[in-house]
Every structure is written in structure tokens, then in C-alpha cells.
Amino acid sequence: MNNNQSTKEQLLYKANGLTEREVAATLAILNQYHNDIVIIRDKDYLLRRLQQTYLDQGLLLVLLNDVKSVLVPEESSNWITKDLRASLWFYNYYYNHLTSNIHLAHNSLSNHVDYLITGIDCSFMLLNPPIYSNDSEQLHIINNYNFGLEYKLTVINDTKRLYHSILTERKYTDWIDINDIDQLYWAVDYLRKAGMLVQNVLFLAQDNKDTFAQICASLDTIDNFHNMNYQYTPTANKRFFISNMRKAWSQKKFRDKKDAETAQEHFLSRRHMNRLKKLASEYGVSSAEYLQQLIDEAYDSTD
């Protein structure tokens, strides 16, 4: 940067180089001086508000240089942001166990992961009255606030250790077929009725993978009270719940099969029922599935 450039130009140049998280944290601090400012990750919005504020531009430039230092490093939060299952579990764990430890700052992010991390980033306490000055001495606005970075890191790292310990092993969920949307919907409904479904008002599953992650995160929460001073093994409560859930699914499949067979008996003769079963067995499917395939093929051929 040229030394002759104005402070305003330096300010705008620095603002353009901020990350999305730094943008949101800067807006959170500016909100202390302009309560109409919303906390989002929009760089254009920040640039506009920087040009509208009454705060000294020199102070703002120092703020932009300081803001990265108060944020949780990405390497400490990647386990949450890069894994949907972990983020759903963490969100649930936070609201049930951590609200007294870290106050999640309200923000206007619509993605549940962005809302969560921005809420943590922008959580701080006022230490002193705000300071603004036109003196040449560099004053650090950010020092008026306690972001509790060290404490946040301790909580997040301890929570990560817990999550990795109680993560539900695949052997307990291998009976759930990620490609079977009917089974996934059934599992979500079963967990919801049991009061065990991890839910987030900002989360909406977009595909089977998302739904499966929500199911697994819900099962992960069962042992949230595990004492990390002891080696983890799934509690009897967790094993019992998953066992009952699996049995309920088996019972549903059996009932559905019987219902299908009963329905077929109403409109097929015994001779045709036997032929249908033989044809279905050759294709390795149930009578109902084979009959549905025949109907679909006949229907498609009419187009």
C-alpha cells in the first residue's frame, strides 16, 4: 500500500480482504454503536456501513486489523463445519448443555452451520464504555470487549473429544439403508415420536444423505452425559433404544408384506398368485415389488 493513500482507501482495501467470518464479527462490533446493523456475512453490506458510521476511520482500520485475533481458528471448528452430522449433534448439545457456558449471539444467517459458528464468533461481553478518538494514538475498539477466545477453545475442544467418543458405530446403524427413502422417513418419524430427533429450525434435509446424517446425529445424542474420565462403551439405554428401533422396522416390513399379500389375494386367483410368486423369486424381489414393476412398465409404455 502507498503511504500517501488516504485512511479511507486503506480501510476499504482492508475490508475487501476480510473473510466471511471476519465480516460478521466486525458487523457485530459495529452493532454496539449502530443498533440497526444486522450481523451477516455480506462484504458489500459491511462496506456500505463503514462509509455511513460516525466512528473514526483510523479506529475502524485498527479494528479490521484486530478482528481475526478474536475468532476461533478454523482448525478448531472444522470438525463442526465440515460434517453435517457433527454440526447437527453440536447444535443439539449446545442448547442442552452449553448455553450457560457460551452465549450464542443472535445473527441473521440462514444456514444452520453459519448461524452456529457466527453466533460463537460474535459472542462477547462489554468490558469498558466504547472509546472513540481522533488522536494519533492507536486505540483498539476490540479491547473494549471480552470475546473469551481461550474459554471458547476449551469448550469446543472438550466437546469434540466427547463427540468422537460417543459417535455411534456403524454396526448399530448398518440395518438402515441410505438408499431407501421410505425407511429413512420412517426412522425420522420414529425418532420424532420418541422425542429423540435432533431438529434445527434452519435445517431441512435436501437428500437421503442429509436425512441419514440427521438420524445418526440423533442416535449420537443418547449418550451425551458420558463422563470423559472413563472409557466409553455404549450404554444399555442406547443399545436398548437402537435394538427396539430395529425390531420396530422389522415388524413394519413384515406387516407391509402381509398387507400386500392380503391385497393380492383379493383380486388374484391362487393360480395367478403362485405364478406371481415364482416370477418374483426369479428376479429376487417380493411379489408386491414385481407387480409394481409390471404396472410401472405398462404405464410407461403408454406414453
Identify the pLDDT of residue 73. 96
pLDDT at 82: 96
Give pLDDT tens digits for 66-76.
999 999 999 99
The list of the chain residues with pLDDT below 50 reads: 1, 3-4, 131-132, 136
Which residues partner with 125 through β-bridges? 146
pLDDT for 298 equals 75
Q: Is 217 exposed, middle or buried (0-12, 13-18, 19+ CB in 10 A)?
A: buried
Q: What pLDDT does residue 136 have?
A: 44
pLDDT score at 266: 57
pLDDT attached to residue 4: 40
SS3 141: helix
The per-residue pLDDT for 262 is 60
CB distance 32 to 130 below 8 Å: yes
Predicted TM-score (pTM) of the model is: 0.79
Model confidence pLDDT, tens digit, residues 99-156: 888 889 999 999 999 999 999 999 998 886 554 455 545 578 898 999 999 999 999 9
Strands (E) located in the chain: 125-126, 145-146
What's residue 3's pLDDT?
A: 46
C-alpha span between 32 and 44 (Å, rounded): 20
Assigned C-alpha cell, 193: 415420536
Specify whether the CB–CB gap between 148 and 125 falls below 8 A. Answer: yes
Output the pLDDT for position 248.
95
H helical segments located in 198-235: 208-220
H or E stretch including 146?
strand 145-146
pLDDT for res 252: 85
| Model pLDDT, residue 263 | 57
**SS3 category, 11:** helix
| Per-residue pLDDT at 260 | 56
